[in-house]
Amino acid sequence: MSSPSLTTTSYAILGLLAIKPWSTYELTQQMDRSLGRIWPRAQSKLYEEPKKLVAQGLARASTEQVGRRSRTVYAITAKGRRALAGWLAEPGAGPVLEFEQVLQIFFSENGTKADALTTLGAAQEWARTRSRESLEVGRQYGAGEGPFPERTPQLELTSRFITDFYAFVGEWARWATTVVEGWPDDPRRAQPDPANTEETIRRAAAAAGEPL
């Protein structure tokens, strides 16, 4: 069983240490570059996490000299690998959605039609920007130039999820824009479209594997 004192962030750091040793700065950079898309965390927390892992014997710290400066480099221990393996043997929790723009649309009757359209436009731009980032990384690995080619089988799975998620956000924002464009200037006077409700029910039934 995994240690109850460890968080998912602890295991994320252990997973990175299982790839190679990192300095704290490198860990935070890698968390932002890759894991930040699926497990975003404040840098302040990430700087403390490796120390916690060392205290529990799951990682070890060593000092390296870089020019005139010294830096602390962390590596996983055998105990850390066992803890990581124990965590991987357990089913993880499902996703928790945190999406401010959807929250704004949820309460959009308190603003204007223009506000809602601006929010949806920003969601579309977010999806495009993130999709471009995924495209760049995908092209690197497609050309055999990715930084961790030995991990390509795992990255193929997670990158597909991330890429499809970005595409879904863009698709939803474009659809929602067409709906809001038909609203009056005061969203409180907008009328429901039964076809939209029926389509949502159809999609929910299909995803649940249940009849309409």
User: Which pLDDT tens digit goes with each residue over 6-58?
Assistant: 999 999 999 999 999 999 999 989 888 888 888 888 787 788 999 999 999 99
Contact between 19 and 75 under an 8 Å Cβ cutoff? The reply is no
CB 159 within 8 A of CB 138: yes
For the segment(s) 8-88, the CATH number from 3.40.718.10, 1.20.1440.130, 1.10.10.10, 3.90.1150.10 is 1.10.10.10
> Residue 131: what pLDDT?
97
Report pLDDT for 143.
95
Q: What is the pLDDT of residue 2?
A: 46
pLDDT, position 76: 98
pLDDT of residue 1: 43
pLDDT given for residue 47 in this prediction: 86
CB 123 within 8 A of CB 101: yes
Give residue 75's pLDDT.
98
**Total Cβ atoms within 10 A of residue 85:** 12
Angle at 210 between CA 209 and CA 212, to 5 degrees: 130
Which ranges of the chain have pLDDT less than 70? 1-4
Taking the domains of the chain in order of start, what are their residue ranges?
8-88, 100-208
